[in-house]
């Protein structure tokens, strides 16, 4: 039901795959920025990088689910 609603609202697998790739880049960028800006050093930077990096598998998984929905929806 959620997938159908997202699909009907215009969310497509490609959007999710793109968001996954962007989140990988943001993970690296947030790690680099945190290393330079945070007085806590690498520990805080690692947490930021991991936090943002965990978005990528979620987006890729959602993209796969939407692709499966799209495939079954077309038939």
pTM score: 0.81
pLDDT digits 0-9 by tens, 1-29: 899 999 999 999 999 999 999 999 988 88
Give residue limits of the domains in the chain.
24-75
User: What pLDDT shows up at residue 48?
Assistant: 76
Please tell me the distance from the alpha carbon of residue 59 to that of residue 19, in angstroms, as a whole number: 6
Please tell me the distance from the alpha carbon of residue 30 to that of residue 36, in angstroms, as a whole number: 10
The pLDDT of 32-61, averaged and rounded, is: 81
User: What pLDDT shows up at residue 40?
Assistant: 66
DSSP string, 5-39: HHHHTT--HHHHHHHHHHHHHHHHHHHHHHHHH-T
The pLDDT of 59-69, averaged and rounded, is: 96
């Amino acid at each position: 039901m959620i997938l159908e609603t997202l699909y009907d609202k215009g969310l497509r697998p490609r959007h999710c795959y793109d968001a996954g790739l962007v989140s990988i880049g943001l993970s690296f960028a947030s790690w680099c920025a945190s290393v330079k800006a945070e007085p806590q050093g690498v520990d805080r930077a690692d947490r930021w990088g991991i936090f943002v990096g965990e978005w990528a598998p979620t987006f890729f998984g959602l993209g796969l689910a939407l692709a499966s929905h799209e495939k079954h929806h077309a038939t």
